[in-house]
Chains A and B, each alone.
Chain A
Amino acid sequence: MHMADALLSPPIGVVMAAVTIGAIAYSVNRIKKDDSFDEKKIPVMAVSGAFIFAAQMINFTIPGTGASGHIGGGILLAALLGPFPALLTMAAVLIIQCLFFADGGLLALGANIFNMGIIVSFISYPLIFKPIVSKGLNPKRITLAAIVAVIIGLQLGAFSVVLETMASNITELPFNIFVLLMQPIHLAIGLAEGVATAAVLCFIYSMRPEIMEGALSNKSIGPKSIKKVLIALGIFTILLGAIFSLLASSFPDGLEWAIRNITGSGEIEKAGNAYNVFDKIQELFAFMPDYSLKSNPEEGTSLAGIIGGTLTLVLAGGTGVLINIMKKRKVAKK
């Protein structure tokens, strides 16, 4: 579910990053205010983060299907560490995955932390997992809570991937087909992941019940306080979106004007039935609506462009070879 940079437009990437920075700052604040939190928890969070990273690579077999799955770990972390430490740990893991393993892009980091961390810590844990187990911990409740929370978390995450890709106007895939492709796949994944997460949580509960009890007794987050947070996050997102659409409507115009002047190609009318549902939605929000126009088809397609492009590539390759040769000579001289 890690999104690559190529799937996002800059405005969407930046808005998601801003929302994520806000949520991380909020979590850091909450942790600082929490009296039960001491610096002792930091190494425990870090080692669990490293563990989650490794655990995501353990495949388990799904009986009867031959298929295999792996755990995502968001709910696991939230249930054992509490939602705010879990969000920080998950965010740190995602940052390392992005940098060192190319799992998810740099510009897409905000979106990825949102889809896989914020949704879990701010929605599926406090609104689903916690209310189910808060009546008293027992294996049955833990299993039910884990499965439902993982499924809902993954569904929301997958839906958010669809929305972000669509709003970035990267794919021509109609919205409804995209949703129909993503949601059922993630329902199956979520069920398998939920069962595995439940098994792990039940095991830990039977061995060391105090870990989960400790995370639950943390009163800092409940359905009431979460409402405020969600409302704040929502308002923040809308505000950012509004500011960005204002910026976007003035800035690209200048850019396009420049491109047009230099390349001499005007905008070409939209071809055929290019207006799909999402174009309309996008225009409504005015996130750089021009992205959806099939503008400047000459750009990058004329014969001159093809010849020039090939030459550019050859030049780039040649530069690389030249630098390597020069480096080798230098080493040889030494």
Chain B
Amino acid sequence: MTMLSKATYGFHNLENIAEGETIIHRLNPLTKTITTFLYVVIVVSFDRYSISGLLPFVFYPVVFMSLGEIPLKPLLSRLAIALPFCIFAGVANIIFDQDTMLTLMGFNISFGLVSLVSITLKAGLTVMAVLILIATTKMPAISRQLIRLKVPTIFVLLISMIYRYISVALEETINMYIAYSLRSPHNKGIKIKDMGSFVGQLLLRSFDRGERVYFAMKCRGFSGDYKYVPTPKPPALELIYIISFAAAAIILRIVNVSDLIGGII
């Protein structure tokens, strides 16, 4: 139950943030998708014992989150979802990779510990990158770009319609759930014997709703196409932005800035 309402809240919250009008919001969605993907690939490409090389990449989320006025709270709840399995893999490394990597102030630091920190850092950075993309881009803009990239219409329609109907489905589920728990108190979750009729009923309603939605769409001239106002191509300036972003990311991948700064001092 809490999960359902949390999801509804998080969903609306993100939509509100995406309505913003900052410099990051105004970037073309395609530009943002390309840079996000680049960033994720480069962060993940670091080997599993690097930490200091990854640290300069913290600049991206910090700068973009302040420029895009993205609050920190949704980020933390998203991290909570992504982290457990990463930590599971990382903790395993502590157990199975105990060779000492270096000794610092009398403490032996193992390869495993270093790799746990590295995985956690990577998880944090990649989750932040996707959050920045989605918190500054509206869904219809993403769909239009997908069409432009020649993704099949039916798939784009599906993504944008599922997105539209998630809040409806969540609301309906919450209503039924409240009704169920009022009639069977002291029960966490739904009894498995009621699962068939509960979920089945919801599914049948969804099917009927889907048909009604179709009739309504048909009345407005739906023929299986995705109709939209064409978006302008990303301006040349944004191409320069993409190239400099890529160059910066690649340089930071090759040059360990943290070591350099430390070396100077």
Interface class of chain B by DSSP = helix
Q: Are B157's CB and A46's CB within 8 A?
A: yes
Taking a contact as CB atoms under 8 Å apart, the answer to whether A169 and B192 are in contact is: no
Output the nearest chain A residue to B214 by Cβ-Cβ distance: A43
Does A48 contact B40, Cβ atoms closer than 8 Å? no
Compute how far the CA of A265 lies from the CA of B258 in the bound complex, rounded to whole angstroms.
Answer: 15
- Complex contact B122–A308 (CB within 8 A): no
Q: At the interface, is chain A mostly helix, strand, loop or mixed?
A: helix
Q: Which of A116-124, A130-138, A229-237, A319-327 contacts B (4 or more CB under 8 A)?
A: A319-327
A140: CB under 8 A from chain B?
no
Check if B127 sits within 8 Å of A308, measured CB to CB: no
Tell me which of A96, A101, A317 contacts B81 (CB under 8 A): A101
Contact yes or no, A61 B41, CB < 8 A = no
Give the residues in chain A near B43, CB-CB below 8 Å: 5
Q: Does the CB pair B196–A25 fall under 8 Å?
A: no
B14, B210, B213 — which one has the most chain A CB atoms within 10 A of its CB?
B210
Q: Are B158 and A200 in contact (CB under 8 A)?
A: no
A105: chain B residues at CB < 8 Å are 40, 82, 126-127, 130
Q: Are A311 and B204 in contact (CB under 8 A)?
A: no
Q: Does B265 contact A (CB under 8 A)?
A: yes
Question: Which residue of A13, A51, A297 is within 8 Å of B169 (Cβ)?
Answer: A51
- Residues 44-74 of chain A, each 1 if its beta carbon lies under 8 Å from chain B, else 0: 1111111101110111111100001001000
* Contact A101–B10 (Cβ < 8 Å): yes
The answer on a CB contact under 8 Å between A316 and B158 is no
Chain B interface category by residue count: 35 or more
- CB distance A9 to B195 under 8 Å? no
Q: Given A50, A199, A274, A317, which contacts B192 in the complex, CB threshold below 8 Å? A: A199
CB of A45 within 8 A of CB of B158, answer yes
Contact A172 B162 (CB under 8 A): no
Is B51 engaged at the interface, CB distance under 8 Å to the other chain? yes
* Chain A: minimal CB distance from B174 (Å): 8
CB distance from B130 to the nearest CB of A (A): 5
CA distance A120 to B8 in the complex (A): 28
Of A10, A68, A300, the contact of B51 (CB 8 Å cutoff): A300
A50/B130 in contact, CB under 8 A: no
CB B221 to nearest CB in A, in angstroms, measures: 12
Does A196 lie within 8 Å of B166, measured CB to CB?
A: no
Q: How far is the CA of A71 from the CA of B199 in the complex (A)?
A: 10
B158, B170, B187, B201: which contacts A46 (Cβ < 8 A)?
Answer: B158
Query: Considering the chains assembled together, what is the distance between the CA atoms of A60 and B194 in angstroms?
Result: 9
Q: Is the CB of B166 within 8 A of A43?
A: no
Residue on B nearest A315 in the bound complex, by CB: B59
Interface residues on A, range: 35 or more
Number of A-B contacts (CB under 8 A): 388
Q: In chain B between 22 and 53, which residues have their CB closer than 8 angstroms to a CB of chain A?
A: 36-37, 40-41, 43-45, 47-53
Does B178 count as interface, using CB distance less than 8 angstroms? no
Q: A106-B36, A308-B261 are in contact. Are A319 and B63 (CB under 8 A)?
A: yes
Whether B62 contacts A316 by the Cβ 8 Å rule is yes
**Set A32, A96, A200, A317: member contacting B162, Cβ < 8 A:** A96
User: B177 CB to closest chain A CB, in angstroms?
Assistant: 7
Known contacts A6-B44, A40-B211, A44-B214, A51 near B203 by CB under 8 Å: yes
- Decide if B56 touches A46 in the complex (CB within 8 Å): no
Tell me if A22 counts as interface (CB < 8 A to partner B). Answer: no
Instruction: Tell me which of B3, B157, B265 contacts A42 (CB under 8 A).
Output: B157
Residues of A within 8 A of B203 (CB): 48, 51, 55, 76, 80, 200, 204
A286 at the interface (CB under 8 A from B): no
* Complex interface: chain B residues within 8 A of A13 (CB): 41, 44
CB neighbours (8 Å) of A304 from chain B are 259, 262-263, 265
CB distance B154 to A171 under 8 Å?
no
User: Could you mark each residue 139-170 of chain B with 1 if its beta carbon is under 8 Å from any beta carbon of chain A, else 0?
Assistant: 00000000000001011011101111110111
Question: A102 with B127: in contact, given A42-B157, A60-B190 (CB under 8 Å)?
Answer: yes
B63 adjacent to A320 (CB under 8 Å): yes
Beta-carbon contact of B96 and A47 below 8 Å: no
List residues of chain A with CB within 8 A of the CB of B50.
296, 299-300
6 A-B pairs closest in CB distance: A308-B262, A199-B196, A203-B200, A304-B262, A46-B161, A102-B78
26 contacts between A and B (CB under 8 A): A4-B83, A7-B85, A24-B152, A32-B154, A47-B210, A49-B161, A49-B162, A54-B202, A58-B4, A60-B195, A88-B158, A106-B130, A172-B93, A200-B200, A258-B254, A259-B256, A263-B256, A296-B47, A299-B52, A301-B52, A301-B102, A301-B114, A302-B102, A311-B261, A321-B66, A323-B66
Point out residues on B near A: beta carbons under 8 Å. Answer: 3-4, 7, 10-11, 14, 36-37, 40-41, 43-45, 47-56, 58-59, 62-63, 65-67, 69, 78-79, 81-83, 85-86, 89-90, 92-93, 96-97, 99, 101-102, 104, 109, 111-112, 114-115, 118-120, 122-123, 126-127, 129-131, 133-134, 152, 154-155, 157-159, 161-166, 168-170, 172-173, 177, 187-193, 195-204, 206-207, 209-211, 213-214, 217, 222-224, 253-263, 265
Other A-B pairs beyond A6-B86, A169-B48, A319-B59, 7, CB < 8 Å = A6-B82, A47-B210, A50-B166, A62-B192, A306-B262, A311-B261, A315-B59
